[in-house]
Amino acid sequence: MKVAMVSEHASPLAALGGVDAGGQNVHVAALAAEMGRRGAQVVVHTRRDDPGLPQRVPLAPGAVVDHVPAGPAAPIPKDELLPHMEAFAADLAAQWREERPDVVHAHFWMSGHAALMAARELGIPVVQTFHALGVVKRRYQGEMDTSPAERIAIEKEILRRVDHVVATFSDEVFELVRMGGARGRLTVVPCGVDLDLFTPDGRRARRRPGRRRIVCVGRLVERKGVGNAISALAALPEVELVVAGGPPRAQLDRDPEARRLRALAQKAGVADRVELRGRMGRADVAALLRSADAAVCVPWYEPFGIVPLEAMACGTPVVASAVGGMIDSVVDGVTGVHVPPRDPERLAEALASLLPDAERRAACGRAGVERARRRYGWPRVVAATLDVYARVVARPRRQAAGGVRAASDPRRFALVPSGADHLASLRDALAELEPDVERLELWGERLADVLTAGGRVLAVGNGGSAAQAQHLTAELVGRYRTERQPLSAICLHGDTSSLTAIANDYGSEEAFARQVRAHGRPGDVLIALSTSGRSANVVRAVEAANALGLATWALTGAEPSPLADLCDDALRMRSGDAATTQELHLVALHVLCGAVDRELALRIPAAPAEPAAARPPAEPARRRRALLAPTARSRQVVR
């Protein structure tokens, strides 16, 4: 896939810490590099701000940075770049006529403006990530907002015209919908963190003995809230604040914000405990975060916030403003603490409670590492972004969905439903299934944990449900949609010799239970299917699985049943018709298989399929994760 990224002011090659160089630069650089590693051909178009720069500079294998001539080849504040976007767009259009990308991904509103101008006549799909919205900036900064007056109107036009918008956090989606965005063309893909660089293990910056340390990292602009952290320090004796960001250390005396912060520290009587270190390299930032007792990220507003992720990945608890993306990334009471923005007193209270509590800080640190690794690694973020591209590129070749109005329940006395009635009933039932999709996707995530740790799925059912059970195990052992490793799954009626022998010797009710005792191991998963939820042999199989420490899940019909009551979790299909219930079971199983494959793809980059003879034998798993252990059973039934 050929990808053109447009990032007009935020070059992935720029040194971080300047007024206009921060999280967006990191985001674009990491996306492009990881996409190139996965085989995409990526060109990042950014404005030339130095006459000495070559037109193209390699960024990573498969990714290059293209310097676009637009305005003077010199640094220009981003809020003054709008008049140069027509020239920027003209250069993009000329390049794309020569080498057409499959998709354009614009970063920031002016990039979207230029990308749409360039792609208009070429028919190239455009994906937009705003990174920050003018309406939010105006809300929080008021008269201090230096954005062009046209910004909000242009953002609304971009939202109307682009093929898809990738938001970076959930609150942004609400803002975009309020601006007129179509929910079906919005996808949330968070920013990521470099999990190779930001780790709990590694070099730690030196610190003064006898003092607690809090750290702020980011650009030196007033809205980042460093001044609030300095004000809070007055109520925190024996605590030092180290600030990384801004110009190089030698140039801090000439930086207006650095001078303001130093004057504020002097006025608050904490100047001896505030250190501004200026711009730092990424490895040095990681070492500084590891040395901190807490990272303080308290901007007035924040489009996403990569620094909290970096701190979490280093095992450092985060005290963060409850704004923007940090509402999603920092879990209050788990990986850190939320505080109101622009409230030094509440910030001081939170730090006064957290800093002396070593056990609490350690727990937050461990949880932060786990969350960063599970949710925010760049391979996962890039896989989700490429999925958006693939859907957008394919969209013109797909038929429109066409809204067919759902019919009311078509039940007729004792007559068998007609084909039309059957389909109408199925449409109603599918709509009822939608609220359960999130739980099925959670099942898929947990199955991915179990199966990649060497665990196994057992599936059981009778009649049509037996066919569904066998369908599930075939998709797992083989593949559902994408190439991946085979996964261990056994359908318990598949071995007809064992099935008939057990039924003959021990009775039909033991036909599945005995096989569970033979094949099941603690931590494995048994999936039981029954439209009635009352099949005695299936119920006995679940009882055997519970006794052995397997996780047990069920797909059943609408009525309460002993099967649903016995299982750790169960989905009751809301159709009263057995045939429709089985059809819903198949849909649910496909959602489940898709969730497993998607989770594996987000965790592990897909590799080309190898001939069977060339595949090396898999190493045995050293340990088994216990996410679905019986001690965690909720016995929850979705109704």
Which residue, chain included where needed, has tokens 């979490």? 312
pLDDT of residue 603: 79
pLDDT of residue 629: 39
pLDDT of residue 627: 37
Residues 603/530, Cβ–Cβ less than 8 Å: no
Per-residue pLDDT for 211 more than 80?
A: yes
Per-residue pLDDT for 465 more than 50?
A: yes
Q: Range with the lowest mean pLDDT among 241-255, 535-549, 612-626?
A: 612-626
Position 577 confidence tier, pLDDT thresholds 50, 70, 90: confident
Q: How far does the chain reach from its first CA to its final CA, in angstroms?
A: 43
Residues 459/491, Cβ–Cβ less than 8 Å: yes
Q: What φ, ψ does residue 574 adopt, rounded to 5°?
A: -85, 5
Position 550 confidence tier, pLDDT thresholds 50, 70, 90: very high
Nearest Cα residue to 461 out of 448, 443, 473: 473
Instruction: Look up residue 71 and give its two tokens.
Output: 């305005």
Percentage, residues of the chain above pLDDT 70: 89
Instruction: Look up residue 536 and give its two tokens.
Output: 């005695």
| Rounded Cα gap, residues 481 and 475, in angstroms | 9
pLDDT of residue 109: 97
Helix (H, G, I), strand (E, B) or coil at 67: strand
Q: Report which secondary-structure segment, H or E, holds 94.
A: helix 85-98
| Rounded Cα gap, residues 160 and 231, in angstroms | 43
Nearest Cα residue to 296 out of 359, 227, 363: 227
Sign of the CA dihedral with 334 first, then 340, 342, and 347 last:
negative
pLDDT of residue 21: 53
Helix (H, G, I), strand (E, B) or coil at 439: helix
Q: Report which secondary-structure segment, H or E, holds 318.
A: strand 318-321
- Who has greater pLDDT, 481 or 258? 258
Q: What is the mean pLDDT of residues 255-261?
A: 97
Q: Range with the lowest mean pLDDT among 45-59, 167-181, 421-435, 515-529?
A: 421-435
Position 409 confidence tier, pLDDT thresholds 50, 70, 90: very low
Per-residue pLDDT for 383 more than 70?
A: yes
Q: Where do runs of H (alpha helix) occur along 395-463?
A: 419-433, 437-452
Q: Tell me the C-alpha to C-alpha distance, in Å, between residue 543 and each of 109, 343, 461, 568.
A: 58, 55, 14, 11
- Who has greater pLDDT, 280 or 631? 280
pLDDT of residue 606: 53
- Who has greater pLDDT, 480 or 22? 480
Q: What is the mean pLDDT of residues 192-212?
A: 95
Q: What is the mean pLDDT of residues 368-386?
A: 94
Percentage, residues of the chain above pLDDT 90: 75
Q: How many CB atoms lie within 10 A of CB 428?
A: 17
**What is the Cα 619 distance to its own chain's centre?**
29
Residues 61/37, Cβ–Cβ less than 8 Å: yes
Q: What φ, ψ does residue 515 adopt, rounded to 5°?
A: -70, -35
Give the CATH class of 2-188.
Answer: alpha beta
DSSP states of 368-398: HHHHHHHH-BHHHHHHHHHHHHHHHHHGGGS
Residues 232/351, Cβ–Cβ less than 8 Å: yes
| Rounded Cα gap, residues 374 and 26, in angstroms | 20
CATH annotation of 212-375 = 3.40.50.2000
- Who has greater pLDDT, 623 or 373? 373
Mean pLDDT of the chain: 88
Instruction: Look up residue 158 and give its two tokens.
Output: 């971009």
The 3-class secondary structure across 260-289, one letter per residue, is HHHHHHHHHCCHHHEEEEECCCHHHHHHHH
Beta bridge partners of 296: 319
Position 262 confidence tier, pLDDT thresholds 50, 70, 90: very high
Could you state, in order of their start, the residue ranges of all structural domains in the chain?
A: 2-188, 212-375, 407-604+622-638
Per-residue pLDDT for 271 more than 70?
A: yes
pLDDT digits (tens, 9 = 90+) for 585-599: 999 999 999 999 989
Position 36 confidence tier, pLDDT thresholds 50, 70, 90: very high
| Rounded Cα gap, residues 628 and 381, in angstroms | 26
pLDDT digits (tens, 9 = 90+) for 438-450: 889 999 999 999 9
- The CATH fold assigned to 407-604+622-638 is Rossmann fold (3.40.50)
pLDDT digits (tens, 9 = 90+) for 289-341: 999 999 999 999 888 889 999 999 999 999 999 999 999 999 999 999 999 99
pLDDT digits (tens, 9 = 90+) for 72-85: 999 999 999 999 99
Residues 555/585, Cβ–Cβ less than 8 Å: yes
